[in-house]
Structure 1
Amino acid sequence: MNTINGMFSKILLLTLTLAFVACSDKDDVLSKTSEDIDVAGNVTVEVTPERKKLLRNPMNGWVIYAGLGDGLSDTFWEDYDNFQSVKGRVKVSDYATTLFIRGAWSDFNPEEGKYVWDEDVNTKPAKRFKDLVSGALERDLKLAFSFIVDSRDKHYNFTPQYVMDSPNIQGYETITGTASRVWSPYPDDPVFQKRYEEFIKVFADRYDDPDIVQFISGTGLGKWGESHTVWYSTADDGPREAVFDWVTSLYANAFKRVPILINYHRWILSRQTWDGSNYDPNSERLLESAIEKGYSLRHDAFGMKGYYTTWEQNFARKYKNKRPIVAEGGWVKISHGGSISGDGYSNYADVRRGELDQARGAAANMLDLRYSKNIVNGETFSWFNDAFYLVEQFIAEGGYRLYPDRLSLPAKIANGANITIGHRWHNLGWGYCPTNIPQWQNKYKVAFALLDKEDLLPQYILVDEEPRLSEWIKGYPKGYKYSTKISDVNVGDYYWAVGIIDTSNDNEIGIRISAKDEITTEGWLKLSEVKVQ
């Protein structure tokens, strides 16, 4: 009897295992929706999801760090195109979607009216900028930017000389190490504010372009531009709220089409330096005022438990699926090696796991690959050699990954007739597609196309206005029935296709669907044949 039971248990286990393997390409959460998307008389199409491939979708994926200072190698792209990993030499850009250029305001704007993108500006930072931008676009990477005003801990002035020379401007000097005396403006100074406004507006005129720019990170104030340890002219936090309102409004008014981010932490724009797990009670209210203006969120010490504490975790949880979060790890290998033991890690692979785990906890859409001129001591080298599987895991699971598992489509349609299409969608990622942010205004929509059977180009596009992609959360599929009237369609044979279009860009595909089935060059998912009578 025991032998029979044992054999039965093994057979049952094998059966369940085979069933799991057979269904591994299907979503395992269909039971969480009761919506019936089938339409009588239609043809049913089932779609197999693509779970691992990199999809270069907006506000999603790995971010490559770069800068304009001497910390950037002159062979940056050569280094990153031939990068050592546990899988041999790889191109880092094959795993990323974005190049993040952090730099000093003085590097971006070396003289009044002169900027790094100008053809006649040939400073070292300008040459690096041009090389980074052209290289990113060649590698199908979008750009992201952050501007740093504060010179503390730097070896040269991060505020431009022409600004420092402005009449009546107020600032202060500090000494970096034993050699460099540097100057920073008081952020409540009206002369500084006027000059900074001029720069941000000029930059926005050129780069408020979602076709090439992924995001802009503000505010640029405080140490490292991270909005902490901010020194005001009053030697206290008296100007804090007014400055916060000014600088967040500046970015929000300048960038209308590209997402803007703000660091979220418990000492936002406070003079106070980090103090254990203590926090400023006004930080949450100030951050929420920025979110109301349209800001998304960013934190730059994921995995570093002394900086990313319960306060930050709770704040991220509060805005889960309401605002996208860009996660960044710390400079652990390059400059904070002591945090390994302090944060309870045994090695750098553990550090990388800690960063990824906290990114998952925040439902982050993006995570960073930090750069070091000394490649083997950099964070990116650690990711690709200590924990390469986590690089691939974030591509597969981080951010959002959208696909329709089931569609119900008519096989014949006629001009003047009404049709109904059923469709159900999944998000396989732990993040969300942030179509609800003000800069996007729900511009990404589900659309159905009639494709020419020869060249597979869309001849007619039908847009379903009901779905809100920001509502597609992992584990909770959303189903719809889209009814519309057909008119002015030439008779003939077509293919049905579905895609996620950008309505602000002539209804071109804006977000790639994560499907293994046939995706056209333009990004439409080919479905079934249809005859127009």
Structure 2
Amino acid sequence: MNGASSFRSFGLIFVLLPILVALSGCSADSTVESQETIATRETREAQDVTVQPEEDQTGVIRNPAMGWVLYADAFADFPQANAYWDSQDPYAGSASIFYIRLPWSQLEPTEGVYAWEYEQNFKDLIQGALDRGLKLAFRIYVDSEGSYQQATPGYVISAGAEGIVDANGRWNPYVDDSVFQEKFSSFLNAFASKYNDPAVVDFVDGNGLGRWGEGNQLKLLGDDVYGVLRWITGTYAANFTRVLLGVQYNKSSTGFGLDNMDAVALGEHGYVIRKDTLGLPYWFIEADKERIRSHFPGVPFYGENVYQYLQSRQRWADDYDTLYAALEAVLNDALSLHANTLDLRIPEDTEAWFSEAPDLVQEFIVRGGYRLIPAEITYPDRIGQGGALTIAHTWKNTGVGVLPNNKPQWNYKYKVAFALIDPATEQVVFSAVDGAAEPSDWIEGGQYSYTLKVFPDSVPAGSYKLGCAIIDSTMDNTPAINLAILNEKTNSGWYILGDILVK
């Protein structure tokens, strides 16, 4: 190497040496700072995190005791399962409940022989509803007026029950007859053994007497209407201890009377109110509506359109210029009465709602029933192992109806809960219920705030997800109510709110 080259090489080393030393020093300092940052992050005080979940403002929310209802309305004839579901399939995803209204004789043609065990078409119809995610509802009527067959089974007559033959030659029972009451009570006991299951059945009409099962034009041997009401409601209530019961809120002078229904069905047995005259301007007057509203929110309301066979019979044309105007009146009645449910009804009616008034269908989807939302949740981003976890949470209901958690058949089983969830397995490692938060109190327009303080002392150190849910306390605290929010959801139903560290 010549001198110039040696000098340039040595000079380069001389120039680079302090730079390398400086860089080395910077690197060492950066390492120290990074370690300090990590230490600070792990030891700093907890900071509050506030979450405001994004609302689902358009989607179908399927929940117990609410939503659009499809009907198998067996007054004209009992539908064939395959044809029925073929026609309802385009619309079934918008509904929550499948309501079956049929005569007692359809379910028990001979004593002890039940359709749910032996009649394939009935079983297929039921299974079709369950396969589509619909819950069941029932009305069983005993009076033959309007029915496609004698409503009370012949074996009841053979057993000695007294009754009357109508103009069509069909026998109808005196509903205060002791033999009739004994046989119908036995049937209800068998029926409830199959269907007193809230996982499958949403509600049962707990009356079924009189014309169309609505409790009017009662046929009696004597005059003890009040005694008949106490018998029928008490029998249903004794058998359906876990499923909601409804009563047709009929003001007819030939029925039970509204004061009696208030005292017995609503007061003693916790029935919900059902009404089938929505949209009828000259009969369903404002005073009737105000009486129903006076029970809200303690008693939910289930609505039913007064008009049926919308395309083939067009009875609505007597009262309205267009079908849309009739359906709009029905919807307005439902919303003003805080309706939890409303009927799409039989296939031709369902198709008419969707073809003539899809906007009205959508409006009840987003406003009917209850839509529960955790509007704001505040929690610490970390807690010490065994330390306190404090969660402030505010809820609202954007639907016109109410979650009827206060009914005796449910007995406040739905509860607000929070959970720490392992993000790798989605397993709940800790959960707690806030007993102060009562969903049946939440109505449209309100904000309901609570603070829960718990000590998850058995939770190992680590990073977790904080989840919330409304759980069913009778089903091992399983999440049971779909919330109207768009947050990520675990397979078991917990809505993810964010991250939390346990140290």
Q: Same fold (TM over 0.5)?
A: yes
Helix, strand or coil at the partner of 2:404: coil
Q: Provide structure 1 residue ranges, at least 5 long, that are not aligned to the other structure.
A: 1-38, 82-90, 273-279, 373-377
**1:420: how far off?**
1.1
**1:306: how far off?**
3.5
Number of the residue aligned with 2:403: 433
Instruction: Give the residue type in structure 1 aligned to 2:317.
Output: I
Helix, strand or coil at the partner of 2:339: coil
Given that residues 370 and 402 in structure 2 are in contact (C-alpha distance below 8 angstroms), is that contact kept between their aligned partners in structure 1? yes
Number of the residue aligned with 1:523: 493
- For 2:367 and 2:104, locate their aligned partners in 1 and report how far apart those are by CA, in whole Å: 35
Instruction: Give the residue type in structure 1 aligned to 2:198.
Output: P
- For 2:312 and 2:208, locate their aligned partners in 1 and report how far apart those are by CA, in whole Å: 22
Structure exhibiting the larger radius of gyration computed from Cα positions: 2
**1:161: how far off?**
1.1
Alignment of 1:77 onto 2:85? yes
Distance 1:232 1:317, change over 3 A: same
- For 1:155 and 1:130, locate their aligned partners in 2 and report how far apart those are by CA, in whole Å: 20
Q: Map residues 94-493 of structure 1 onto 2, 5 A cutoff.
A: 94-118=93-117, 121=118, 126-167=119-160, 169-176=161-168, 181-234=169-222, 238-267=223-252, 270-271=253-254, 282-292=257-267, 293-332=269-308, 333=310, 337-342=314-319, 345-371=320-346, 378-493=348-463
Instruction: Give the residue type in structure 2 aligned to 1:47.
Output: P
Helix, strand or coil at the partner of 2:69: strand
Alignment of 1:58 onto 2:41? no
**1:455: how far off?**
3.1
**1:335: how far off?**
7.6
Instruction: Give the residue type in structure 2 aligned to 1:72.
Output: P
Number of the residue aligned with 2:41: none
Distance 1:367 1:206, change over 3 A: same
Number of the residue aligned with 1:12: none
Number of the residue aligned with 1:43: 49
- For 2:426 and 2:59, locate their aligned partners in 1 and report how far apart those are by CA, in whole Å: 23
Cα-to-partner distance string for 1:450-495 (whole Å, 9 max, x where unaligned): 1111233322211111101011111111111111222211221111
**1:310: how far off?**
2.8
Given that residues 201 and 254 in structure 1 are in contact (C-alpha distance below 8 angstroms), is that contact kept between their aligned partners in structure 2? yes
**1:415: how far off?**
3.3
Given that residues 307 and 316 in structure 2 are in contact (C-alpha distance below 8 angstroms), is that contact kept between their aligned partners in structure 1? no
Cα-to-partner distance string for 1:247-267 (whole Å, 9 max, x where unaligned): 111111111100000011212
Instruction: Give the residue type in structure 1 aligned to 2:329.
Output: G
Helix, strand or coil at the partner of 2:116: coil
Given that residues 109 and 116 in structure 1 are in contact (C-alpha distance below 8 angstroms), is that contact kept between their aligned partners in structure 2? yes
Percentage of matched positions with identical amino acids? 35
- For 1:340 and 1:304, locate their aligned partners in 2 and report how far apart those are by CA, in whole Å: 12
- For 1:455 and 1:439, locate their aligned partners in 2 and report how far apart those are by CA, in whole Å: 35
Instruction: Give the residue type in structure 2 aligned to 1:175.
Output: A
Distance 1:58 1:160, change over 3 A: same
Helix, strand or coil at the partner of 1:128: helix
- For 1:331 and 1:197, locate their aligned partners in 2 and report how far apart those are by CA, in whole Å: 32
Q: Map residues 8-23 of structure 1 onto 2, 5 A cutoff.
A: none
Instruction: Give the residue type in structure 2 aligned to 1:331.
Output: Y
Distance 1:339 1:56, change over 3 A: closer
- For 1:136 and 1:152, locate their aligned partners in 2 and report how far apart those are by CA, in whole Å: 27
Given that residues 335 and 400 in structure 2 are in contact (C-alpha distance below 8 angstroms), is that contact kept between their aligned partners in structure 1? yes
Given that residues 152 and 175 in structure 1 are in contact (C-alpha distance below 8 angstroms), is that contact kept between their aligned partners in structure 2? no
**1:218: how far off?**
2.1
Instruction: Give the residue type in structure 2 aligned to 1:310.
Output: E
Helix, strand or coil at the partner of 1:117: helix
Q: What is the TM-score of this pair, normalised by structure 1?
A: 0.82
Q: What is the TM-score of this pair, normalised by structure 2?
A: 0.87
Given that residues 45 and 406 in structure 1 are in contact (C-alpha distance below 8 angstroms), is that contact kept between their aligned partners in structure 2? yes
- For 1:480 and 1:326, locate their aligned partners in 2 and report how far apart those are by CA, in whole Å: 30
Q: Hey, which of these two has a bigger chunk of helix by percent?
A: 2
Cα-to-partner distance string for 1:107-127 (whole Å, 9 max, x where unaligned): 011111110111xx2xxxx23
- For 1:109 and 1:103, locate their aligned partners in 2 and report how far apart those are by CA, in whole Å: 11
Stretch deviating more after TM superposition (397-406 or 298-307): 298-307
Number of the residue aligned with 1:7: none
Distance 1:385 1:148, change over 3 A: same
- For 1:357 and 1:397, locate their aligned partners in 2 and report how far apart those are by CA, in whole Å: 11
Task: Give structure 1 regions of 4+ aligned residues with deviation exceeding 4 angstroms.
Answer: none
Given that residues 144 and 151 in structure 2 are in contact (C-alpha distance below 8 angstroms), is that contact kept between their aligned partners in structure 1? yes
Instruction: Give the residue type in structure 2 aligned to 1:341.
Output: D
Q: Provide structure 2 residue ranges, at least 5 long, that are not aligned to the other structure.
A: 1-44
Given that residues 265 and 312 in structure 1 are in contact (C-alpha distance below 8 angstroms), is that contact kept between their aligned partners in structure 2? no
Q: CA RMSD in A?
A: 1.8
Given that residues 214 and 250 in structure 2 are in contact (C-alpha distance below 8 angstroms), is that contact kept between their aligned partners in structure 1? no
Instruction: Give the residue type in structure 1 aligned to 2:432.
Output: L
**1:67: how far off?**
4.1
